[in-house]
Structure 1
């Protein structure tokens, strides 16, 4: 699916973002990451309406949260998003830092075995913490890890976004026909593939997420079944210092129907989000079923 949005408005938005990102990249890493979080939380999120969307999503699925906690999350969630954006644009510097992060969990042995035996694995995560930190950390471990990505709507922005995520690691496969053939070759060759499955999919199955109906793509489970690949949730949990991560590899999802396996993925993500509410991207329109 190619990026299609062009024109003066898209160009101007891209130029503004390029200027902001370029200015931040002039700063030392330990300063630019929290500063981008502050800019996103205090300046961009209120203008874009993200704080209101965070509040609406929380009211829908966690109405019992105290008002003070909702107010905190309305700031903390965009802050994490901002940190993730500038980390991705920090390219090799971010990748080197991610490579030093601890990796653990009940599924790590399964990944090591699959890698040793040349068997494919589908790694599934969500828009949580910084999902690219787990990709960089696992690639540094020696895994042949590719990733599927959704091209940005703004074609001007998409050009440098793809360069940024490619600098962290490759191969990358754009969602749609353009990347399908390469992605399938990678899997058939025993590679690992990283997917994000926590956004609304118009044609997805109506499953549950935080107790609410949420249309969810079944593609990760379907690929795992078709290519006899382990289906493994993985998360990069941001540390208290705001710069480092804990990479957690969960146990492989048991075989079942695509719906059963995908619901298990939703349940896994929900469990980790409940432990770290400020690290999931509550700015998405997840519940539109």
Structure 2
């Protein structure tokens, strides 16, 4: 397995946040308990989190029969595999997603300084292009593999520029504040999607980098309907619209688990400044671009995607 050392032109931000301990001391009993539990789990390191994640995934597999059936059916229908193979993939998916849930506790311990050890850069030339570029960047990824660690790497990217990720807010404020703190452990600004437009555009105008998860279902008023894994799906067009308005480059990237290591895949970017047509044409082209990138990644690593999600819930109307 080939590994690559990090380049000097990628800021590694050593000694930034080191984990849950470095977050601002929370107030209130429940927040304090959450942070104490996070510190205890994070102290087990990557191997411990992997073991706990696998155990949690097995527990969820047995305790969530509805989601289990949903995942198996979605895999069989959209990948065209047998029921037995769909069940195998679904069971692995539960374990991978449980690990993803716990890996948010390790965001502060992961970064480019681990290249060649725990982190493998699949295409270092593309990463070099990204690091040396002077354009605004919209980074798109999915609930695939160790996607929480994308926050680690984005937090280290060009410390002199805005670095942020747009996420959906959790309805539980205590849990939401905790997750925001964990994701921001390496300096990444975590932005609530409901108040994102002005903040994101301001950051992109300063040649910043903004990350989005683009594989989840969304409301009809947020959606453009496009093919995804053989079925029409509601694709969030917000990242595409912001990228077009800022004339940003769109870079799909995914963090895939390989045993004890994590492999960063980066796709060739799309330069929105080169697109033809009106704004609607450009937004559709960008939405299609990152949706196809997600589909390729899911087909390559189906066991690491979030199949228990109701991805095709929002259905198009006749005029969509």
Matched, 1:38 2:55: yes
* Residue correspondence of structure 1 range 49-128 to structure 2 within 5 A: 49-62=66-79, 64-95=80-111, 101-105=119-123, 107-114=126-133, 117=134, 119-128=135-144
Alpha-carbon spacing, 1:208–1:107, altered in 2? closer, same or farther (3 Å) = farther
Q: Indicate conservation of the 8 Å contact 2:146/2:256, yes or no.
A: yes
What residue number does 1:170 align with? 188
For residues 32 and 72 of structure 1, what CA distance do their matches in structure 2 show?
Answer: 22
Question: Does 2:251 align with 1:232?
Answer: yes
Between the aligned partners of 1:173 and 1:44, the Cα distance in structure 2 is 29
Per-residue deviation, 1:170: 1.5
Q: Distance in 1 between matches of 2:149 and 2:296?
A: 20
Q: Is the 8 A contact 2:50 2:99 kept in 1?
A: yes
CA separation of 1:232/1:26 partners in 2, compared to 1, >3 Å: closer, same or farther? Answer: closer
Alignment of 1:266 with 2:294, yes or no, is no
27-36 vs 188-197, which deviates more?
27-36
For residues 74-100 of structure 1, what are the alpha-carbon distances to aligned partners after superposition, in whole Å with 9 as ceiling and x for unaligned? 211111111112111123223477666
- Give me the whole-angstrom Cα distance separating, in 2, the residues matched to 1:280 and 1:216: 16
Residue of structure 1 equivalent to 2:266 = 249
For 2:232 and 2:156, how far apart are their aligned partners in 1?
37
**Stretches of 4+ moved more than 4 A in 1?**
13-23, 95-100
**Distance change >3 Å, CA 15–CA 70, structure 1 → 2:** farther
CA deviations 1:92-137 (Å, max 9, x no partner) are 22347766623343643441342xx3x2111111111122323323
Q: In 1, distance between residues paired with 2:234 and 2:170?
A: 21
CA contact (8 A) 2:225 2:233 kept: yes
**Aligned-pair distance for 1:209?**
0.3
Matched residue, 1:201 = 218
| 1:225-279 deviation digits (Å, cap 9, x = unpaired) | 111110111111111x1x4211111111253521122112111111111111111
Residue 132 (str. 1) matches residue 148 (str. 2) = yes
**Gapped runs of 5+ residues in structure 2?**
1-29, 277-281, 316-320
Instruction: Pick the aligned partner of 2:239 from 217, 220, 227.
Output: 220
Question: Matches of residues 19-34 of structure 1 in structure 2 within 5 Å?
Answer: 24-34=41-51
Give aligned pairs, total: 269
Q: Could you tell me how far 1:30 is from its partner in structure 2?
A: 1.1
SS state at 2:188 partner: coil
Please tell me the root mean square deviation across aligned C-alpha atoms, in Å. Answer: 2.7
- In structure 2, relative to structure 1, the CA distance for the partners of 1:19 and 1:140 (3 Å cut) is closer
Q: Is the 8 A contact 2:31 2:178 kept in 1?
A: no
> Paired residue for 1:158?
176
Query: 102-111 or 258-267, which moves further after superposition?
Result: 102-111
Unmatched 5+ stretches in structure 1: 1-12
Cα–Cα, structure 1 residues 78 and 22, in superposed 2: closer, same or farther, change >3 Å? farther
**Higher mean C-alpha deviation, range 131-140 or range 49-58:** 131-140
Deviations 1:191-247 (A, max 9, x none): 0111111111112011110010100111222222111110111111111x1x42111
